[in-house]
Structure formats: structure tokens, C-alpha cells
Chain A
Amino acid sequence: MKRMAFPTALALGLLVLSGANAQQMDPFGKYSDPVTINIGLSIQPTDKLPDGDSADNNQYTRYIKDKLNINTVISWMAATGNDYNQKVNLSIASGDLPDGLVTLDTAQLIQMAKADELADLTAAYNMYASPAMKAMISRNPKALSGVTFNGKIMAMPSLAVPDDGYHITWIRKDWLDKLGLKPPKTVAELEAVARAFIAKDPGGNGKGNTIGIAGQQNGANLYATFLNSTNNQFGLDPFFAGFDAYPGYWLKGKDGHAVYGSTTPETRAALLELQKLYKEGILDQEIGIRKDATESINSGRAGIYFGNWWSGYWPLPDAIKNHPEANWQAYAVPVDKNGKYIPHAGTVSNQYAVVRKGYEHPEALIKLLNLLIRDEGNFDQNNGSINWFPLRVPMAMIDESPVTIKAMHDVLANPSLIAKYQGPDYAMYKLLKTDVVGIGSTKLKPYDKSDIQYWNTSDKFWSRGYSYFTGNTAINSFAFDKVYSLVYYQTKTMIAQWSNLKKLEDETFLKIIYGTSISTFDQFVKDWKAQGGDTITQEVDAASK
């Protein structure tokens, strides 16, 4: 209780401080004359709106019109992922940005800032950011420095909970139980479990149809990288970490200088092991080339996959629809040779909301985000997911997860605590007020067990509750070391040459897993260094000093 009050106090302190050097305006002030903002919108093809609603006329835009007198106009929209990134790239290249957009790519942000296409948000942020937003940002000092160019704030960063950067292992516990196996800890134990799943076929899939370890799909990352450091669902990150290997990350070498994780002997060892697993048939035989990574999980053929704590949202709802008995549980494994789980950690921000240079109301973006932080919990997402909120970048308190888990357990044990968690002390945890109500409708007794049979899976709160009780609990129940990348952005030479080097890397690594001799790895390291890698390493070294 005492600890929880701290952020509030900090926020108030900051409010006083910032009020001293900048004129503070009403963060939620309604414009007297209507203001129009043209935006580019990225949306999941699965995000549906109720009949009659549209991208520029839905519960969020109406609410924004009502509260702020801002009209939202959609300049264009595209599916989240490559489609959207392409659309943004085209806008950048043609110098034709809408008034506001959200980029999901640090490289794009840097391009736009360098091309002088963005509005300076420094004044708008100082004058209009709500105390809650300032409190969140101040707890993540790196967030603002990542969007500051030449001393000016050029974008509003998302604030991810650190959990999104830690990748864990999901295992079919019902299969473990059926075979009388214990959850694995080491890489060897994990392999033994996968081997048993295939040999004994606890899922009844028929001979040769079980996939020990599910694989990534074509076009997605085999492991998170310094540029896409979070939310790499179905990557092999935990497996690499089991070898103390962090491919795609910039690490500090033993000599104190920067070294690229994909070129280390640890990565070589992990690749060799993956090759062995592929050959043995334990690793998905179509890893990296299959069209859809969720297919083997949803069809009940896979026993293990690596990924994120929020799997209760994706892919598990479909997986349990097909196989209600599929008891997917999360484990912070495998451990390395010293018996430690050491995941890599992501950046604080992976999305950035920007305003085009020359737009008359740059503060409109700040106001929209103020509103989002204050009122996100009030919207019924059955009437359109929060992704429809214009220019949304998710912002979360850095300790949102541990606070949420504790609150959920507290109110299950003692419902009278709901009022406390909905009170002003917790206003910064924007979803907590609905969380403490929702968990009661989906979690069944016994409350300390997270297995699938102890949930009301048809409840709309299940995804969130299950994600917190399984995946999130796995990474928030103990303290562990983590590995950071020296940089999370592209240095000068990278801008021109990184894509070539990354292609070389992707191609080589996948080929090694599929059975090409490991000597290709040594050749790759040589080529990588010769084709610009050495220069880039020096730049990273200099940047990280």
C-alpha cells in the first residue's frame, strides 16, 4: 500500500515542477472551434466495428468529438504489419504525410525526423501533457530521449511494460501430466519433453503428426532484434537465451567493446543445436517458411512454443476453441548453463505518434493521448477494439503488471478490496478499475491454480485474466537479470547497409537450421564483417560509450 502511493506523489511533484517552467494548459480543454485532424490508421483485419460505424465514425471518434471538439478524418488506412509500413514508407518518400500517424518502426521515425517532416512537439508536450502522462513518462527516462532529436521532442513514444520484451516457453501441461513429466528447466530437459511428445503422442494426433517445438512463420523474425526487440511471438528467443546467445542484439564483449550477438560463438552453438533438433524432427519441419505459425498450435499438433506473456489474446483463444483441454502453461525457461533464466530486454518504446510539420494544432495529439490514458478503461471494446482510437500509442505504467497481478489476486480473495483499487491512488493504472471487476467473472476456484479447467473461458475477460495468471506470472514471480542491447536504433552506416547484412543473416541462419554445414556460420561472420559489419560495430561502440 505504501509502495503504491509513491507514483502518485511523484506525479504531483512533477506537476509542480513542470508548472514552474512552462505555462500549463488544460490537458482536456475542449476546442471552441472544431479542429480537424487527418490521420493514417493501422488496423488489424480482424478488428470489426458494429454495423453503421466506420473508421472515422465510431465510439472513439464520437467521444473525441464530444470531449475535445476534434473531427477525425481518415486519410488512409492499412492492415497492421507490412501493408501499413509500406504505406508509411510511401508517405515519407513522397513527403505527403497526413496530419498525424503512428509509426511502428524506429527507422521510419528517424527518417521522418531527419527529413524534417515532423512538427516539434516540445512546447505542446510541456504545456498540454496531463499529469498522468507525465508521471508515466518520467518513470521511463529513456522514452523521451528516444524521440528527442537535436533537443526537440519529435514524437510521442509508446510506453511498453518491460514484460513485452521477455520471451518465455509455453508448454501443453495436459500432455506433460498425461506422460507423467515435470516441466523442463534446462535446454536438455526441454528437448527431452519435446522428444517424448513426439514419441508418445499424448495428443492423439497420429504417428508423425505431432510437432515438438512450433516454428516461426515466413516473413517474421526467428528472434527479436535490436530494432524489433519486443513481442516476437513464436520466435526462438528463449532457446537462444538458454545458450547465453542473443542474436540480433548489440552486446558488450569480454574486451568491453561492442559485439553483434549474431556473430558470437554462443549463437553458433545454439544454431548447431537447432540444426540437430530439426534433423531429429523435433523442431517444426517448416520453421521460417510456413504461412501461419498459429496453425500447428490451433490444430492441437504442437506441444511447445516460445513467445509472449499475452498469449491469452493470441493465439490461445483459437487453440482452446478447437481443443478445450489444451492446458497451455507458461514457464520462464530454459535456463542457461549456470541455471539462470536471462532473457533479453526490449526498448521502452516501439511505436511513435507523430504530427506532420506545419499542422496548426500539434497539441491535438497530446490531448488525444491524455484522453486515451484517462478514459481507456471506460470503453466497451465489443463496440470496436481500442485499435480504432486515432493516433493511439499504448502507454502503461512501468510496474503495471505486478500491480495488476497483485490486485487481481487481492480482489479474488477479498472482493471488498475492489473499491480500493478503483480509488484515486491507482488512477495511473488505467485498466485496473475494470480488471478488478473482470477477473471475478472468469476465474474459477481454486484461485491459486491457473490450469485451463479453472477458468470460465467463454467470459470476455478470459484473455486478459489468463494472460496475467499464466504468462505474466511466470516472468513476475521472481527477479532475474536481463540483457539489453547497446543501441536500439540504426547508426549512420546501418541506414544504408543494414538491410543487406540482415538478409545475409536471415538466409544463413535458416539454412543452417535446415542442415547446411555449420562452417557457413564462420563464412557468414567473415562476410558480415567485410560487408560493413566492422564499420557498424565501431559506430555502435562509439555510440554506447
Chain B
Amino acid sequence: MKKKNLTTSYLMMLLPGYVWLFLFSIVPMIGFTFAFQAFVPGHGFFGSPWVGFDNFRYLFSLNDARSIFFNTVYISVFKIAGGVLVPLVFALLLNEIRVGLFKKWVQTIVYLPHFLSWVILGGIMLDVFSISGPVNRIVESLGGTKTAFFARADLFPTIAILSDVWKEFGFNAVIYLAALTGISPSLYESAAIDGAGRWQQLWRITLPSIATTAVLLTVLGLGNVLNAGFDQIFNLYNPLTYSTGDIIDTWVYRSGLLNLQFGLATAAGLLKSVMGFALITISYWLARRFANYRIF
């Protein structure tokens, strides 16, 4: 009897979360009807004429369709890879430092950029990489010629990926550092007694101990393959870099919110959601299989 009461209170506590989820995630889903309509504003979710898959057909007839899907996957795959590897290496390096104060100091500084929004950081980057900015001054003083970095479509993905990895690696390293402190010191002590050097300790103890964390972060990242980072791209791109920088989200934003192509934008968004759902399902399956991670 007592137990049942408890369950009720737990469910009551969950209620606000469910209401939130219902209002902001479930209800707006009705809007996917726009993808199959020649949407006329003001006629509600079901009032506009139905056009079947016309919006999707038009979407795929555009040259943009292929490039935005490719750009999205390309940029985000490298971001995920960089976002796993760089923090890992950094955390391992930091872990080897024995001066406590210096270690804390470095750790604090590298994770500061995480707290800056892309609106601010994007503005800073545009200035730093502009024709008269510091990067070009250095290039010039070394005898190179000035480049308008953000005019170069070939450089854009690299800049986007590197800056994103740079912004987030300090913060992501925290997870690894936490995993590292979780390794029992007795393992290292016994290894040292057995005559293992620093390298051997790294390969035999440290890496295997945090491998699960790394695998988990990678597979969970897979669910985000179609999110290449709207905030960042939006603040950095321009018509010259559309060809390599335009991602699904920025394209949906432009066609829907700026150009009033509600049906078309919803179609692209819906397509992204369906593919994202499939990827998330796969990644959870992988996480369960390889990292023994489960939510349900």
C-alpha cells in the first residue's frame, strides 16, 4: 500500500515534464502537414490544398538538395570525430601534468570558449580572419599574400570544423577527465611495481579504462549527424560559401522564415527529422551493443 503511494507521487513529479514535452514537442508535430500542402497561411494545419509529394519533388529537383545534405553530413562527421579525439588526447596530456595549479588553470582557460555564443564568437572570427585582421597581417609579414578567408568556399568546411572543435574541446575534455579520475590508482601502482613505464600504463590501463566513454560519446554523436550546427554556420557563411557551407538547417531557415516557402521548408525539415530518427535508433542500438549503455 505504501509503495503504491510512492509511485503516484513519482508520477506526479514527472507530470510537468510530460506536459512540457507534449506542448513543445508533440503538438508542433501537427505542422508536418505543411510538407504535403500548398500551404496558405491562416488556414490552419489542415485547411490548405493537399499536394501529395509535390514539395519533396520540387526539393529534389533543386541543385541545392544534394549539396545541403552532403554538406551537413560532411561537416558534422568531422565535427563528431574531432569532438571525440581532440578532447581525448587533450585530457590524456593534461592528466600527465603533475603541477596541480597549472593543470586547473589550463583546464579553466580552454573551456571558456564553450560559454560564448556563436553570435559573439562568429563576429570575432569574421574580424580575426578579415583582410585587415591579425591573421592576414601575420601571413603578410611572413611574405604570404592576403586572403579573404570567408570568401573561399574550399576553406569554409575546414574553418567551421576546426573552430567548432576548438570551441568545444575544453568542455568535452571534462567528461574524459572525470573518467580518468575514476580509474583506481591501485592499478597504476601495481603496474609500476611490475615495471610498466608511462607509455605502457597509458596503453594498458588508461586507454582501455576510458574506451567505453569514448565509444559512447561517438555513437551518441551519430544521432546528431544531421545537426551540423546552425548557430555557427549561420553566423559565418555568405553567398560565396553557400556551395560548401549551406546545411539543412540554414537552408530551411532561409526558405521558410525568410522566403515564406513554408511547405518546401517543412518538407526538408521533415525529411531531416525522419533520417535523424533512424540515425538515433541505430546509435542507441550501437551504444547498447558496444558500450552497454541503455536508457530503457
Point out residues on A near B: beta carbons under 8 Å. 82, 85-86, 89-90, 92-95, 107-108, 111-112, 114-117, 209, 218-219, 285-286, 288-291, 495-496, 498-500, 503-504, 506-507, 510-511, 514, 527, 531
Contact = CB atoms under 8 A, between A and B. Distances in A.
A209 B243 contact: no
Nearest to B44: A95
Contacts of A115: 40-43
Given A95-B43, A289-B240, 8 more contacts: A115-B41, A289-B150, A496-B261, A498-B259, A499-B258, A499-B259, A504-B63, A510-B239
Contacts of B261: 496, 499
What size tier do the contact residues of chain B reach?
A: 20 to 34
B41 A286 contact: no
Interface string B37-71: 00111111000000000000010001110000000
Contact of B41 (A85, A93, A218, A511): A93
A542 B40 CA distance: 25
B44 A499 contact: no
A303 to B, nearest CB: 16
B62 A500 contact: yes
Nearest to B140: A208
B260 A111 contact: yes
Interface of B: 39-44, 58, 62-64, 123, 126-127, 130-132, 146, 148, 150-151, 238-240, 242-243, 254-255, 257-262, 264
Given A95-B42, A95-B44, A503-B242, A286 B148 contact: yes
Contacts of A90: 257
A114 B148 contact: no
Nearest to B262: A93
Contacts of A506: 239
Contact of B132 (A209, A496, A499, A503): A209
Nearest to B255: A499
A23 B246 CA distance: 57
Nearest to A108: B260
A117 B240 contact: no
Contacts of B39: 93
Contacts of B131: 285-286
A89 B260 contact: yes
Nearest to A505: B239
7 nearest CB pairs, A to B: A499-B259, A95-B42, A115-B42, A289-B238, A92-B41, A115-B41, A218-B238
A85 B262 contact: no
B260 A107 contact: yes
Contacts of A107: 260
Given A218-B238, A289-B148, A116 B42 contact: yes
Contacts of A500: 62, 64
Contact of B123 (A82, A117, A291): A291
A92 B257 contact: no
A350 to B, nearest CB: 17
Contacts of B44: 95
A86 B262 CA distance: 12
Contacts of B41: 92-95, 111-112, 115, 117
Nearest to A504: B63
A23 to B, nearest CB: 31
A86 B58 contact: no
Contacts of B43: 95, 115
Nearest to A110: B260
A280 to B, nearest CB: 14
A516 B255 CA distance: 26
A116 B261 CA distance: 18
Nearest to A90: B257
- Select the residue from B123, B148, B238 with max chain A CB neighbours within 10 A: B238
Contact of A511 (B64, B130, B240): B240
Contacts of A531: 62
A288 B238 contact: yes
B42 A286 contact: no
Given A89-B260, A285-B131, A117 B148 contact: no
Contacts of B242: 503, 507
Contacts of A495: 260
A496 B151 contact: no
B38 to A, nearest CB: 8
Contacts of B127: 291
Contacts of B123: 291
A86 B42 contact: no
B105 to A, nearest CB: 33
A527 B239 CA distance: 17
Contacts of A288: 238-240
A496 B57 CA distance: 13
Contact of B258 (A86, A285, A289, A504): A86
A325 to B, nearest CB: 22
20 contacts: A82-B258, A86-B258, A90-B257, A108-B260, A111-B260, A115-B42, A209-B132, A286-B150, A288-B239, A289-B150, A289-B151, A496-B58, A496-B264, A498-B259, A503-B64, A503-B254, A506-B239, A507-B243, A510-B240, A514-B151
Contacts of A112: 41-42
B240 A286 contact: no
A117 B151 CA distance: 42
A286 B127 CA distance: 11
B260 to A, nearest CB: 6
A516 to B, nearest CB: 10
B40 A507 contact: no
Nearest to B55: A496
A477 B119 CA distance: 45
Contacts of A499: 254-255, 258-259, 261
Nearest to A95: B42
Contacts of A498: 259
A117 B42 contact: yes
Nearest to A510: B239
A107 B44 CA distance: 20
Nearest to A497: B58
A93 B43 CA distance: 9
Contacts of A290: 126, 130
B257 A89 contact: yes
A82 B258 CA distance: 8
A438 B84 CA distance: 65
Q: Which of A82, A495, A498, A499 counts the most B-chain CB atoms under 10 A from its CB?
A: A499
A85 B254 CA distance: 12
A449 to B, nearest CB: 35
Contacts of A511: 239-240
A387 B264 CA distance: 35
A35 B8 CA distance: 50
B18 to A, nearest CB: 24
Q: Which of A117, A209, A503 has the most CB of B within 10 A?
A: A503
A504 B64 CA distance: 10
A498 B131 CA distance: 33
Contacts of A95: 41-44
Contacts of B259: 498-499
Contacts of B148: 285-286, 289, 514
Contacts of A93: 39, 41, 262
B139 to A, nearest CB: 13
Contacts of B150: 286, 289
B232 to A, nearest CB: 15
Contacts of B151: 286, 289, 514
A514 B152 CA distance: 9
A531 B40 CA distance: 23
Contacts of B264: 496
Output the residue of A92, A95, A498, A500 with the most chain B CB within 10 A.
Answer: A500
